[in-house]
Amino acid sequence: MQVLDITYMLELVPILLQYLPLTLEMATLGMVLALVLAGLLAVVRVLKIPVINHFTILFISFFRGTPLLVQLFLFYYGLPQIFSSLTAIDGITATVMGLTMHFSAYMAESIRAAIVGVDRSQTEAALSIGMTNAQLMRRIVLPQATRIAVPTLMNYFIDMIKATSLAFTLGVTELMGATQKEAAGSFLYFEAFIVAAVMYWIVVELLSWLQRFLEIRLNRAYSR
Partner 1 sequence: MKALLLSVIAVLTLAISPLSLAQASAQSSGGSEPLNVGMSGRYFPFTFVEKDQLKGFEVDVMNAIAEELGREVNYHTAAFSGLFGMLESGRVDTVANQITITEDRQKKYVFTQPYVYDGAQVVTKKGNDEVSNVEDLKGKTVAVNLGSNFEALLRDLPYADQIDIRTYESNLEQDTALGRVDAFVMDRISASQIIKEKPLPLELAGPTFSTIRNAYPFPDTEEGRALRDDVDAAIDALREKGTLKKISESWFGTDITRP
Contact set with partner 1 (CB under 8 A): 2, 11, 15, 18, 21-22, 24-25, 28-29, 32, 73, 76-77, 80-81, 84, 87, 90-93, 96, 168-173, 177-178, 180-189
Q: Going by C-beta distance under 8 Å and a sequence separation of 6 or more, which residues neighbour residue 149?
A: 110, 111, 113, 114
* Closer to partner 1 by Cβ: residue 8 or 52: 8
123-129: long-range contacts, CB 8 A cutoff, minimum separation 24: none
| Shortest distance (Å) from residue 185 CB to partner 1 | 4
The residue (of 18 and 132) whose beta carbon lies closer to partner 1 is 18
Q: Which among 70, 147, 60 has a CA at the least distance from the CA of 108?
A: 60
Least distance (Å) from partner 1 to the CB of residue 206? Answer: 13
Q: How far is the CB of 25 from partner 1 (least distance, A)?
A: 4
Long-range contacts, 2-11 (Cβ 8 Å, 24+): 4/190, 4/191, 5/188, 5/191, 8/186, 8/188, 8/191, 9/191, 9/194, 9/195
- Toward partner 1, which CB reaches closer, 54 or 181? 181
Least distance (Å) between residue 218 CB and partner 1: 10
Residue ranges in 118-141 assigned as alpha helix (H): 120-128, 133-135
- Write down the least CB distance from residue 141 to partner 1, Å: 16
Task: Collapse the DSSP code of 118 into the 3-class scheme (helix H, G, I; strand E, B; otherwise coil) and give the result.
Answer: coil
Torsion sign across C-alpha atoms 41, 146, 206, 155 = negative
Opening angle at CA 178, ends 79 and 25, nearest 5 = 65
In the complex with partner 1, the residue whose CB is nearer, 84 or 121, is: 84
For the CB of residue 123, give the shortest distance to partner 1 in the complex, in Å: 22
What is d(CA 56, CA 59) in angstroms, rounded to the nearest whole number? 5
Alpha-carbon distance of 101 to 107, in angstroms, equals 10
Whichever of 111 and 178 has its CB closer to partner 1, that residue is: 178
Nearer Cβ to partner 1 (22/115) = 22
